[in-house]
Amino acid sequence: MALALSVAPTSSSLSSLLSRTPNPSPNFRTTHLNFGSQRRIYTINPLLRSFKCLQSSSRDVNASPFSISAIASSSSSSQTTELVPYKLQRLVKEFKSLTEPIDRLKWVLHYASLLPQMPESSKTESNRVMGCTARVWLDAELGQDGKMRFCADSDSDVSKGMCSCLIQVLDEASPVEVMELKTEDLAELNVGLLGGERSRFNTWYNVLVSMQKKTRRLVAEREGKVPSFEPFPSLVLTAHGIEAKGSFAQAQAKYLFPEESRVEELVNVLKEKKIGVVAHFYMDPEVQGVLTAAQKHWPHISISDSLVMADSAVTMAKAGCQFITVLGVDFMSENVRAILDQAGFEKVGVYRMSDETIGCSLADAASAPAYLNYLEAASRSPPSLHVVYINTSLETKAFAHELVPTITCTSSNVVQTILQAFAQMPELTVWYGPDSYMGANIVKLFQQMTLMTNEEIANIHPKHSLDSIKSLLPRLHYFQEGTCIVHHLFGHEVVERIKYMYCDAFLTAHLEVPGEMFSLAMEAKKREMGVVGSTQNILDFIKQKVQEAVDRNVDDHLQFVLGTESGMVTSIVAVIRSLLGSSANSKLKVEVVFPVSSDSMTKTSSDSSNSIKVGDVALPVVPGVAGGEGCSIHGGCASCPYMKMNSLSSLLKVCHKLPDLENVYGGFIAERFKRQTPQGKLIADVGCEPILHMRHFQANKELPDKLVHQVLSCESKR
């Protein structure tokens, strides 16, 4: 087999094997009987009868469950040395030869009957395959001959049949062959199966990923090269409580149950002085814990992504709030102030949480000379549209809009914004900025769309096709010198550990993460095990998957890798606890994993005085910035130092002082922009226009006529 390894074709060469592989169509014999309607009776051929005989004899209680290859080899002496690609192509041809979905279903069920019985002792939590609708277990061993052997079981016969199919392909394969098989190679097995039920398709992919994870570990153990990876810190939630694993998770968990006195103090002052609170998801855990608890007693508290913050502030002003406190970075308070003014609430006061600058690395990048040069290049290439990330200052939006017609976007609507712009103006050139990772990921996403069918592309945007996507790619530019310091931390070390330890978990990633993490999450997304998008997209995905598990009402362990700022955990935990609390399923576990770099870990003191009680558990306090994070610049702590400038103590101090007649907290006021643009207009007015263009797009699903006219009029002036 060693010689075969050196010449084994990779997955990319599978299609070339198809023409050389004979068509071993399954030997069904179909008889039509007249019972008022036509029906099929399937008789399995003699060879498959021998499989079933061997199958029944293999179910000896003392027999090894890793025995399906022995069954297969007894029917064909060459099968154990047959290359994996040939086995897979034979399986694909079997399925393709059956034209009716019901035929494929019966063939899958036949494969289920061939699967040796898995010992009950192997049906453990560690052997569960994540992401399958049914419960699926998979175990593996690496034989002394260097070959992989697998056993599996499921409480669904269909899932069991799918496992059997994969085992027929990969049992007695070398570890290299197992690892070379790609999830894309299984796509042809989905053709016409079970009426196109997507969740069933994902069983193929998720079982393969679990096979590869176990193979990787077994080889590392055999060679004595087990990576020195420790598990990432995590929070494990059940209907009965929360378990924090690792000091980082403990630091997050201690604020999930805030002191009632702090909550009461905040609620009382908010009610008394009619104060609304808009906070970003990335707030300090202490602040979020108190705000989440206070929401039950005061409706004018909103924790959201940056897009919703200004909308929430307007809603609060309409409800009678006289002040809005903004917990976020400065561009967020700027946007809140400007949108309130646009809505006619100039008298509503807007307060930040510090008298110092609460910056943002992305906003800073868009204020740099390099970004101005980028925009000037765009202005010289009409018709051009500047799509600017909302995480930028009002001043940047205003100056940009005077150079190049501009529309803001968020991580949740950027793809649709760009596609709609090209649909309305086919000859357009789009200039996206300032987030370089998001720009690269958008381009990669469109490149992947060139591999789709026209129908698949139309499902993403009805006015686009393969030709239009190929046409727009050369005219889509992105700024290459701007990053979010938080999402930049999801680098190589973190990705490698996820691949080794969490490749079968649900992966979530913000659209701002580096390419490696983006690709990992996109691969998971294809099998409905991942999401790439905004903070709200991530929250909605987790909520959906937990709800599905609750509805199944079986014991399960869901694992979510949180590929964004760790402050998201408070909102995530609140959603999960609500779902688990409303469920009778007491066996469900939901684990939220923090992909923290090893260099970000901070050891805690063994001194019992340096701890805090959560229920009956004493949790150590991690030294670090105000929320207990032990972070470093070496990668992966995923905690924004700018966001953490918004402390609970600052919020309480500002609220107690309002109305600030003595101007003690004048430095905390979100000032209006009174400065003017180079064309002599107010920054506040010009900077709001790209935001209003985006709001029009969200409401109407098309770019406003005013923006289209601005773009095309620049072209006519050339």
Burial (0-12, 13-18, 19+ Cβ within 10 Å), 489: buried
Report how far residue 148's alpha carbon sits from residue 80's, in angstroms, rounded to the nearest whole number. 12
Angle between helices 492-501 and 515-526 (to 10 degrees): 30
Catalytic hit among 132, 165, 409, 484: 132
**Counts for the chain of helices (H) and strands (E), in that order:** 28, 20
Edge-to-edge strand ranges of the sheet holding 323-327: 301-304, 275-280, 323-327, 349-351
* Residue of 333, 513, 482, 479 lying closest to 411 (CA atoms): 513
Report how far residue 687's alpha carbon sits from residue 366's, in angstroms, rounded to the nearest whole number. 14
Angle between helices 260-273 and 285-294 (to 10 degrees): 60
Assign 3-state DSSP to the chain and report helix, strand, coil percentages, each to 5: 50, 15, 35
Report how far residue 66's alpha carbon sits from residue 172's, in angstroms, rounded to the nearest whole number. 10
Render the burial of 441-472: b for 16+ CB within 10 Å, e for the rest: bbeebbeebeeeeeeebeeebeebbbebbeeb
Report how far residue 44's alpha carbon sits from residue 269's, in angstroms, rounded to the nearest whole number. 77
Q: Which two tokens stand for residue 411?
A: 């991580």
DSSP state of 142: E
* CB of 637 closer than 8 Å to CB of 251: no
Q: Which two tokens stand for residue 439?
A: 């720009």
* Residue 132 falls in the annotated catalytic set: yes
Q: Which two tokens stand for residue 533?
A: 């998008």
Output the CA–CA distances (angstroms, integers) from residue 109 to 89, 452, 652, in the order listed: 19, 31, 63
| Helix locations, 386-484, DSSP H | 394-403, 414-424, 436-449, 454-460, 466-472
Name the β-bridge partners of 40. Answer: 32
The amino acid at residue 132 is C
* CB of 38 closer than 8 Å to CB of 30: no
The amino acid at residue 134 is A
Strand 349-351 to 384-389 pairing? unpaired
Q: Which two tokens stand for residue 379?
A: 């202005």
CA–centroid distance for 645 within its chain? 27
421 Cβ partners below 8 Å, 6+ apart? 385, 387, 407, 428, 430, 703
* CB of 579 closer than 8 Å to CB of 225: no
Report how far residue 193's alpha carbon sits from residue 706's, in angstroms, rounded to the nearest whole number. 49
Handedness of CA 83, 86, 89, 93 (dihedral sign): negative
- As annotated, the active-site residues are 132
